[in-house]
Amino acid sequence: MNEYSIHTDALKSYVPKLSAGDTVYLSGTVYTSRDAAHKRIMAALHAGEALPYPLRDAVIYYAGPTPTPPGLSIGSCGPTTSGRMDAYAPEMLDHGLAAMVGKGPRSEAVCEAIIRNGAVYFCAVGGAGALASKCITACEVIAYDDLGCESVKRLTFYDFPLTVAIDCHGGNLFHT
């Protein structure tokens, strides 16, 4: 297993080097999107409307942070179960999504789309949202404010620890 420090701007060039089980310390721009936001993003995509963020080369974190306490960048921000986004993920990957961050296994359709599109699925440690928030230096709501904690946010990660769970070559920690 290897360790990498990667900025989101360079992630696509690293994806072919990553293998299931590798550790990645990710820095850069990451967007939160969960169930309700995915539904709206897909509706906008199908209607030809502007999206809250460009899908090409984007990294999505399946998270709904708690309110931000005074003096901090963000509240607790742990991953949610990724399988709830499986209905949307293949099409988003086909539109250029580079990576997803969450917890738990993915459907076969998502695994195939990861391989087909040269993408990656990272897992973050569940149950450690307060600790994870220490690796997030900025948080801004950019869309769907009415969704509360599930609004779309632009986060800035700094050395956020992740494990490559599904790589672009078909390696899958949930199958090994």
In whole angstroms, give the CA distance from residue 165 to residue 10: 19
In whole angstroms, give the CA distance from residue 120 to residue 22: 11
Q: Which of 73, 80, 79 is nearest to 134 (CA)?
A: 73
Q: Are 113 and 85 in contact (CB under 8 A)?
A: no
Burial 70-101 (b: 16+ CB within 10 A, else e): eeebbbbbbbbebbebbebbbbbbeeebbbbb
Would you name the residues annotated as active-site residues?
38
Alpha carbon distance, N-terminus to C-terminus of the chain: 14
Q: Which of 41, 42, 77 is nearest to 155 (CA)?
A: 77
Q: Are 150 and 142 in contact (CB under 8 A)?
A: no
